[in-house]
Structure 1
Amino acid sequence: MASTKDFDFDRLAAAYDQVLPLTAPVTARMLELTTGIAAGTSVLDIACGTGEPGLTIAASHPGVRLRGVDRAETMISVARRKAEQRGLEAGYEVMDSEALAVADDDADVVVSRFGLLSFGDSAAEAREVARVLRPGGTFTIATWDATSKNTLTFVMASAVHDLLPPPLHAAMRRQEQLAMPGRREAWLTAAGLSGVTSELFAWDVEFPDGDSLWELATGPAMLGAVLGGLGEEQLASARVEFDRLLADYRRADGSYSLPYACRIISGSGRL
Structure 2
Amino acid sequence: MDKDFDFDEMAASFDRYLPILAPVADDIGDRLGQLQPAALVLDVACGTGEPGLTLLGRYPGVQLLGVDSADAMTAIATRKASARGLADARYEVMDSQHLDLADDSVDAVVSRFGLLSFAADPRAEAREVARVLRPGGVFSIATWDAGSKNLISYALSVSLRRWLNPPIAAAVERSERFAMPGRRERWLADAGLVDVRSELVTWQVDFADEVALWEFANDPIFLSTATGGLDSAQLAEVRRELFELLADYRGADGSYALPYACRLLSGTRSSVEG
- Judge same fold: TM > 0.5, yes or no: yes
| C-alpha spacing 1:216/1:134, structure 2 compared with 1 (3 Å) | same
Q: How does the TM-score come out when normalised to structure 1?
A: 0.95
Name the counterpart of 2:95: 96
What is the letter of the counterpart of residue 249 of structure 2? Y
Q: Unpaired runs of 5+ in structure 2?
A: none
What is the letter of the counterpart of residue 118 of structure 1? S
Name the counterpart of 2:131: 131
Distance across 2 between alignment mates of 1:35 and 1:222? 36
**Residue aligned with 1:130, SS:** helix
Name the counterpart of 2:158: 158
| C-alpha spacing 1:43/1:174, structure 2 compared with 1 (3 Å) | same
Name the counterpart of 2:24: 26
Name the counterpart of 2:116: 117
Asked whether 1:82 is paired with 2:65, we answer no
Asked whether 1:140 is paired with 2:140, we answer yes
Distance across 1 between alignment mates of 2:129 and 2:21? 23
What is the letter of the counterpart of residue 70 of structure 2? A
- The range that moved more, 98-107 or 145-154, is 145-154
| C-alpha spacing 1:54/1:220, structure 2 compared with 1 (3 Å) | farther
Q: How many residues were matched structurally?
A: 268
| C-alpha spacing 1:33/1:159, structure 2 compared with 1 (3 Å) | same
Offset of residue 154 of structure 1: 1.4
**Residue aligned with 2:246, SS:** helix
Distance across 1 between alignment mates of 2:132 and 2:41? 11
Name the counterpart of 1:70: 68
Q: Confirm or deny: 8 A CA contact 2:4 2:171 kept in the other structure.
A: no
Distance across 1 between alignment mates of 2:245 and 2:165? 21
1:178-217 correspondence to structure 2 within 5 Å: 178-217=178-217
Distance across 2 between alignment mates of 1:136 and 1:23? 28
Offset of residue 69 of structure 1: 0.6
1:222-261 correspondence to structure 2 within 5 Å: 222-226=222-226, 229-261=229-261
Q: Give CA deviations for 1:85-133 in whole Å, capped at 9, x if unaligned.
A: 1111211110001000111111111101110001111000000000000
Distance across 1 between alignment mates of 2:132 and 2:237? 49
Q: Confirm or deny: 8 A CA contact 2:224 2:230 kept in the other structure.
A: no
**Residue aligned with 1:162, SS:** coil
Q: How does the TM-score come out when normalised to structure 2?
A: 0.94
Name the counterpart of 1:40: 38
How large is the Cα RMSD of the aligned pairs? 1.5
Q: Confirm or deny: 8 A CA contact 2:145 2:261 kept in the other structure.
A: yes
What is the letter of the counterpart of residue 99 of structure 1? H
Distance across 1 between alignment mates of 2:237 and 2:124? 42
What is the letter of the counterpart of residue 118 of structure 2? F
Distance across 2 between alignment mates of 1:250 and 1:115? 30
Q: Give CA deviations for 1:196-221 in whole Å, capped at 9, x if unaligned.
A: 01111110001011111111112046
**Residue aligned with 1:6, SS:** coil
Paired-residue identity, %? 56
Offset of residue 223 of structure 1: 3.1
Distance across 1 between alignment mates of 2:233 and 2:223? 17
Distance across 2 between alignment mates of 1:190 and 1:220? 40
Name the counterpart of 2:9: 11
